[in-house]
Chains A and B, each alone.
Chain A
Amino acid sequence: MKIVMLGHSGVGKTTYMASMYGLLQSSINGFSLGTEYSSDHERLIKNFYSIKRGSYPNLTAQRSEYKFELLYNDESVFPFHWVDYRGGAIGERSSSSEQARILKEDLLNANGVIVFCDCPTLESGNIRTSGIQRLINLLSVKLREVSHSIPIAVILTKADMVSNLGEHAIKVIEPLLETIRASDNIIGTVMPIACGKEMTNVEIPLLFNLYVGINLDLHETSQHIEQHMKEAEHYRDKSNFFDWVESRFSGVPTWGDLADGKINEAMSKYYKLQELEPAAESLGQYLEGLPIIGGGEN
Chain B
Amino acid sequence: MSDIGITMLGSSGSGKTCYMLAMYAVMSTGIRGFTFTTQDPDDDLDLADDWERLEVNGTWPDPTTQSKDWLFDCSYGFKKIKGFKWHDYRGGALTDRSKPDDRKVLLQKFKNSSCIILCISGEVLVDGRPRVPKEVRQFNTLMTQFRKETGKTVPVVIVVTKSDLCKDIKKGVEVIKENMLSTLFTQGSGWLTMICPVSLGTGSQDNFEVYPENVHLPVTFAIFHALQKDINDTLSAIKANKRQVMNKQFEVNQLGNSLFKAWWNKGDIADEQYAIESLQQSTGLKEADCRTLQRNLELLKNELLGDNLYMYHDGRRFAL
Contacts and interface: CB of A to CB of B under 8 A. Distances in A.
Nearest to A103: B41
B35 A180 contact: no
Interface in B69-124: 73, 75-80
Contacts of A237: 266, 270
B29 to A, nearest CB: 5
Given A95-B42, A237-B266, A133 B29 contact: yes
A77 interface: no
A127 B266 contact: no
A183 B80 contact: no
B45 interface: yes
Interface string B32-53: 1111011101101100100010
Interface in B1-52: 28-35, 37-39, 41-42, 44-45, 48, 52
A294 B266 CA distance: 47
A43 interface: no
Interface string A73-97: 0000000000000000001111100
A158 interface: no
Contact of B77 (A93, A138, A295): A295
A193 interface: no
A179 B77 contact: yes
B274 interface: yes
A100 B75 CA distance: 23
**Secondary structure class of chain A's binding surface, majority of residues:** helix
A137 B42 contact: no
Interface in B193-228: none
Nearest to B52: A128
A143 B78 contact: yes
Contacts of A294: 77
B267 interface: yes
Contacts of A295: 77
A297 B41 CA distance: 29
B216 to A, nearest CB: 13
A8 interface: no
Nearest to A172: B29
A185 interface: yes
Contacts of A280: none
A137 B266 contact: no
A180 B55 CA distance: 27
B37 A179 contact: no
B37 A140 contact: yes
A104 interface: yes
Contacts of B76: 182
A144 B75 contact: yes
Contacts of A182: 32-34, 76-78
Contacts, number: 92
A240 B266 contact: yes
A153 interface: no
Contacts of A93: 42, 45
A263 interface: no
B35 A183 contact: no
Given A128-B55, A137-B41, A238 B77 contact: no
- Of listed B35, B37, B41, B45, residue having the most chain A CB within 10 A: B41
Contacts of A180: 77-78
Contacts of A141: 37, 39, 41
A238 B29 contact: no
Range of interface residues on B (Cβ < 8 Å)? 20 to 34
A175 interface: yes
Contacts of A186: 77-78
Range of interface residues on A (Cβ < 8 Å)? 35 or more
Contacts of B44: 134, 137
Contact of A143 (B42, B55, B79): B79
Contacts of B56: 128
B105 to A, nearest CB: 24
Contact of A179 (B33, B39, B274): B33
A92 B45 CA distance: 8
A59 to B, nearest CB: 20
Contacts of B41: 94, 100, 104, 137-138, 141
Contacts of B34: 182
A145 B73 CA distance: 11
B179 to A, nearest CB: 40
A136 B48 CA distance: 13
A262 interface: no
Interface string A117-149: 000000000011000111011111101111000
A2 interface: no
A228 interface: no
In the A-B complex, the 7 residue pairs with the closest CB atoms: A182-B33, A183-B77, A182-B77, A144-B80, A140-B37, A143-B78, A93-B42
Interface of A: 91-95, 100, 104, 127-128, 132-134, 136-141, 143-146, 175, 178-186, 234, 237-238, 240, 294-295
27 contacts: A127-B29, A128-B56, A133-B28, A136-B29, A137-B28, A137-B37, A137-B38, A137-B41, A140-B73, A140-B75, A141-B39, A141-B41, A144-B75, A145-B80, A175-B31, A178-B30, A179-B35, A181-B33, A182-B34, A182-B76, A182-B78, A183-B78, A184-B79, A186-B77, A234-B270, A238-B266, A294-B77
Given A93-B45, A133-B29, A140-B37, 13 more contacts: A92-B45, A94-B42, A95-B42, A134-B45, A137-B28, A140-B35, A144-B78, A144-B80, A175-B31, A182-B76, A185-B79, A237-B270, A240-B266
